[in-house]
Structure 1
Amino acid sequence: MKIHLNRKNEAVHFEGSSELSNVKINIDGSESIGGEGKGVRPMELVLMALGSCSVFDLHSILKKQRQHVTDIQVEVEGQRREEIPNIFTHIHITFSLHGQIDEEKAQKAAELAVKKYCSVHDMLSAGGVDITYSLKFN
C-alpha cells in the first residue's frame, strides 16, 4: 500500500491520495503551525481510521448474523497526553445502531469487530492506547 501527499499551498495544506482508490482527502495542520482549516488534522484521521475499520467489520458481522440494520453511526473520542508527542492515551468508540437488532448478538459482534478484526485497533493498542467501546440501540 502506498499513499501520496501533495502540498496545496505555502502553508501545511496537503491533498492525500492512495494507489488503491481515486479518492482524495484534504489534510491540514493546526493554526499554530500555519494551518488554515482546509482539511482534517492527522490525529483526527487516526480516530476516523479506527472508527471506520471497526464499523466496517461490525456491519459485516451483523449482516452475517441476519440482523436488520437500518442505520449505524459512530462517534470516536480520544484523549491525548499533555507532553510531546501528544499521543492518544484513551479512545472510546460509541456505535449507535438502528433497526431490528438482537442486543446480545450485537454485543458479540462489536467485541469481534473491535478487538479481533480491526487492524487499526491492534496497532493502537499495541502502542499502549486503551480502547473501549459501547453500543446504543435505536
Structure 2
Amino acid sequence: MTNKVTTTWKGNMLFESDNPTGNTVLMEAGSAHGGEGKGVSPKAMMLSSLAACSGLDVVSLLKKMRAEITDFNMEVIGELTEEHPKYYHTVHLDYHFYGTELKEDKITKAVTLSIDQYCGVMEMFRRFSKVTTKIYFHES
C-alpha cells in the first residue's frame, strides 16, 4: 500500500499538508523559529501520530473485547538529541483509561497488542528511538 500527501507552503513558516482522504493539517515552526502559532510543529505531529496510531488500535480492540471505558487519553514525551539533525532518541507513551469497573486485563491486552503487533508508527519509532510505555487506570 502506498500513501501520498501533498504539502504546500502557505507563507512565512506555515505549511498545509493533505492526506489520502483529503483532510488537511497545518504545520509550522515554533515561535522561536518564526512560527505564528497557526499550526503544529512537524516533530510534535510525529508524537501525535504515534499516539493516534496506537489509540486507534486500542479503541478498536477494546470494542471487539467488549471492554467499555468512559474516557481514554495518551501523553507522549519525546526527548530530542542535542546535535543536528535533532531527532527523538527517547519516547515515552502513557495510556490513561477512565471508567467504572475497568477491565484492566483486557485493556492491558489491547495496549500490548498495539505496542507489539499492530501499530506501524510505533514500529517506525523503534527504528530510531527507545520507546517505553505505561498504563494508568482511573476508576470513577
Partner SS state of residue 36, structure 2: coil
1:3 equivalent in alignment to 2:5: yes
Cα distance between partner residues in 1 of 2:33 and 2:98 = 41
Partner SS state of residue 86, structure 1: coil
Q: Tell me the amino acid that sits aligned with residue 61 of structure 2.
A: I
Partner SS state of residue 57, structure 1: helix
Cα distance between partner residues in 2 of 1:126 and 1:69 = 32
TM-score (norm 2): 0.89
Cα distance between partner residues in 2 of 1:44 and 1:32 = 15
Cα distance between partner residues in 1 of 2:130 and 2:30 = 25
TM-score (norm 1): 0.91
Q: Tell me the amino acid that sits aligned with residue 65 of structure 1.
A: M
Q: Tell me the amino acid that sits aligned with residue 42 of structure 1.
A: P
Q: CA deviation at 1:32?
A: 4.2
1:103 corresponds in structure 2 to: 104
1:119 corresponds in structure 2 to: 120
Q: CA deviation at 1:110?
A: 0.8
Q: CA deviation at 1:101?
A: 2.1
Q: Tell me the amino acid that sits aligned with residue 110 of structure 2.
A: A
Cα distance between partner residues in 2 of 1:107 and 1:78 = 23
Cα distance between partner residues in 2 of 1:50 and 1:34 = 26
Q: Tell me the amino acid that sits aligned with residue 94 of structure 1.
A: D
Q: CA deviation at 1:22?
A: 2.7
1:67 corresponds in structure 2 to: 67
* Structure 1 residues 81-92: aligned runs within 5 Å: 81-92=81-92
Cα distance between partner residues in 2 of 1:81 and 1:126 = 15
Structure 1 runs not aligned, ≥5 long: none
Greater Cα shift, 31-40 or 49-58: 31-40
Cα distance between partner residues in 2 of 1:111 and 1:46 = 21
2:78 corresponds in structure 1 to: 78
Cα distance between partner residues in 2 of 1:59 and 1:134 = 17
Root-mean-square deviation (CA, aligned residues, Å) is 1.3
Aligned-residue identity in percent = 32
